[in-house]
Structure 1
Amino acid sequence: MPQNSEFPPLENDLLLRAARGEETERAPVWVMRQAGRYLPEFLEVRKKHEFFEVCRTPELATEVTLQPIRRYSGLVDASIIFCDILVVPQAMGMEVLMNPGPHFPDPLRSPADISKLKETVDVNIELKYVFEAVTMTRHALKGEVPLIGFCGAPWTLFAYMIEGGGSKTFQNAKTWIFKYPEESKKLLMRIADVCVDLLVGQVKAGAQLLQVFDSWAGELSPHDFETFSLPSLVYISSRVKEILASENVPIVPMTLFPKGASYALASLASTSGYDVLGLDWIIEPSEARRAVGGKVSLQGNLDPGVLYGGRDAIEREVRHMCASFRGDNNVPLRGWIANLGHGITPGVDPEDLRWFFECVRKYSSKSTKLS
């Protein structure tokens, strides 16, 4: 396991301070999926290498992770390792293809299919390439910005494993939770155990913050979210911290992004065990701040579609976002990480993303008056 002393010293800790709720001179900023999809240099790599080949090749994953850091050096405050949430189902024994979206040739159609999964998963074997990429990237960053590790949330992974890919209705996944609730809960916790091991392994390899993506949280009613998603999310946050503490590994901040579940912000802030809650764009930042009451930091939440609206629209909407997160200009900025409300989409002009970063730096700065 690499020791922190083996890595170059961190030059920009703005993200980590904001995640801990400390006062910052401006909001740190990064974007979900910033290491792929839209950058010309990433598309050049993809011309020669299949998607999961990039994930499984530490040198390629490192290169792609560094691409936006190079392009936006001095403007972006975090890197996120290039990988995919679906490496967890792969580690559990399922085949996943990307053509162009995720496709499972043999999804789980009934609880009997659980027998197809591996009884035990050794992430140090199955996902060793992730850890190698994290360590390699951490060195290659030379301390410029922190490195984020991540995984998918059990409910989101469960849905993919049963639907066989993305879905508009989630008919199959919802059949499971309502027809086979106990079997569903057991599978969710089985997925959660692999997620825990993956997250712990990333911290040991050099990740400085962790994020759990519950991309399909909003497909569940509040009651069903509390029944089928929340227990595994709480388990992940508590178990990761417990393991790190028991092994004398520094505990890093953890972010939960429960897309579409802003109704749960107040309870998540009190009970989930995460340091940061990610916001989609379907909530006003000031409302989210009131909901969490300073108990956690927040991340988000510009609509990714704004990046197609041109420079004036980007500046206008970023200014509004910053004003809503900052509130009273006389109050020091605490606990906000600027980001999009979901991942960046493929058609974005990289120079418009640069403008987004520049606008965040301007309007989130405590030296800039917004009223």
Structure 2
Amino acid sequence: MTDFPPLKNDLLLRAARGEETERAPVWVMRQAGRYLPEFREVRLGHEFFEICRTPALATEVTLQPIRRYTGLVDAAIIFSDILVVPQALGMEVLMNPAPSFPDPLNTPDDIAKLRSEVDVNKELGYVFEAITMTRKALDGEVPLIGFCGAPWTLFAYMVEGGGSKTLQKAKSWLFKYPDESKALLARIADVCIDFLVGQVKAGAQLLQVFDSWAGELAPHHFEEFSFPFNQQIAEGVKSKLAAEGIPLVPVTLFAKGANQSIALLAEKSGYDVLGLDWCIEPSLARDLVKGKVALQGNLDPNLLYGGKVALEREVKRMSESFKAGGKTKAWIANLGHGITPGVDPEDLRWFFECVHKYSAN
């Protein structure tokens, strides 16, 4: 483990551990990205995955929102992509501008094309280098978040060959080939475990697992094809860190759209924080989790286009709904999904300012 500068702002980590905080820590998913002119400037000269694979570039774009919103944002999230795991498994992924797989998995026979063993240090060491470089460059201003995609979400991309409105191919696999699907999901989870452990060793102070397509599954299929493999990741990361004598870090699961399973996730998933989309009332989520986990979320990202009056009104409402017994406790303020490219950076600044104002105890 590298020696890093002492952390000056531990608000995020305290909230993730379930503590009462003076206000809610705040960051946003896709914080380093296309809504920032400084990111678009870097992107002009570099392909997307080139930025991911070049630690100096990944560090620069990770730091851009921290510089712009210094004192307002409480975490950095490393610039990378969930699809680096399929790449590590041996699949080609292009970004033009949406992700696409020239050679997707069409039948279970195609699983043989994947690497049987994945050395994450060899295949994904560039992410670890970027994390260490970024952690040093942050100089303790805010914690650094590492992440990966969830097995079901990654499986869906690998089978569909990109994004999909119906997930017809991926779901057909689950229903036609349930045993082969579960074996592949477990393999993906194993790579994710090693990847996340490597990120902690490199300097990540909190981890997040993105199950972006969790809500595309019926509740019983979520419990069969998503939940066990997300649970496998939480348990695997914690046991591997403990076995190596490395202090545990909080782990967040964002299972977008799986609001019907919040109580199950709080009870049995093994995660410290659950991310919420905007389709559930925060106070209801509070009741469902019964204090077993911290919560993160959950403003509709499109409110960032709604003007300052609407944005302030909704942040105030969200804050009141998240407060437990009138206090800000075990809550990390965020959007209910990633920030979209057309947002005015000054409107995001206003979001941060409103969170500071209305979440304060």
What's the TM-score, normalizing by structure 2?
0.99
C-alpha displacement of 1:37: 1.6
Q: Which of 23, 26, 34 is matched with 1:37 structurally?
A: 34
CA offsets, 1:331-351, max 9 Å, x none?
x32100000000000000000
Q: How does 1:260-339 map to 2 (within 5 A)?
A: 260-329=257-326, 332-339=327-334
Structure 2 Cα separation of the partners of residues 222 and 50 of structure 1: 38
Structure 2 Cα separation of the partners of residues 162 and 202 of structure 1: 26
C-alpha displacement of 1:117: 0.3
CA offsets, 1:242-267, max 9 Å, x none?
00000011100000000000110101
Q: How does 1:248-259 map to 2 (within 5 A)?
A: 248-259=245-256
Structure 1 Cα separation of the partners of residues 49 and 143 of structure 2: 24
* Aligned: 1:195 with 2:192: yes
Structure 1 Cα separation of the partners of residues 101 and 34 of structure 2: 21
Structure 2 Cα separation of the partners of residues 25 and 288 of structure 1: 21
* Aligned: 1:357 with 2:352: yes
Q: How does 1:68-79 map to 2 (within 5 A)?
A: 68-79=65-76
Residue 117 of structure 1 corresponds to 114
CA offsets, 1:196-218, max 9 Å, x none?
01100000000000000000000
CA offsets, 1:211-233, max 9 Å, x none?
00000000000100000011111
Residue 137 of structure 1 corresponds to 134
Structure 1 Cα separation of the partners of residues 207 and 173 of structure 2: 29
Runs of 4+ in 1 over 2 A off after TM superposition: none
Q: Which of 70, 81, 84 is matched with 2:81 structurally?
A: 84
Unaligned runs of 5+ in 2: none
Structure 2 Cα separation of the partners of residues 335 and 210 of structure 1: 16
Residue 14 of structure 1 corresponds to 11
- Aligned partner letter, 2:351: F
CA offsets, 1:105-164, max 9 Å, x none?
000000000011011000000000000000000000000000000000000000000000
* Aligned: 1:217 with 2:230: no
Residue 335 of structure 2 corresponds to 340
Contact 2:29 2:334 in 1 (8 A): yes
* Aligned: 1:170 with 2:167: yes
Structure 2 Cα separation of the partners of residues 356 and 7 of structure 1: 30
CA offsets, 1:252-309, max 9 Å, x none?
0000000000110101000000000000000000010001011100000000000000
Structure 2 Cα separation of the partners of residues 37 and 176 of structure 1: 34
Residue 369 of structure 1 corresponds to none
* Aligned: 1:107 with 2:98: no
* Aligned: 1:232 with 2:229: yes
How many residue pairs were aligned? Answer: 361
C-alpha displacement of 1:328: 3.9
3-state SS in 1 of match to 2:334 = strand
Structure 2 Cα separation of the partners of residues 174 and 223 of structure 1: 13
Structure 1 Cα separation of the partners of residues 332 and 269 of structure 2: 19
C-alpha displacement of 1:327: 4.8
CA offsets, 1:73-105, max 9 Å, x none?
000000000000000000000000001000000
Q: CA RMSD in A?
A: 0.6
Structure 1 Cα separation of the partners of residues 214 and 223 of structure 2: 10
Contact 2:55 2:129 in 1 (8 A): yes
Percent identity between the two aligned chains:
76
Structure 1 Cα separation of the partners of residues 133 and 52 of structure 2: 13
CA offsets, 1:46-87, max 9 Å, x none?
000000000000000000000000000000000000000000
Structure 2 Cα separation of the partners of residues 174 and 327 of structure 1: 38
- Aligned partner letter, 1:118: R
- Aligned partner letter, 2:348: L
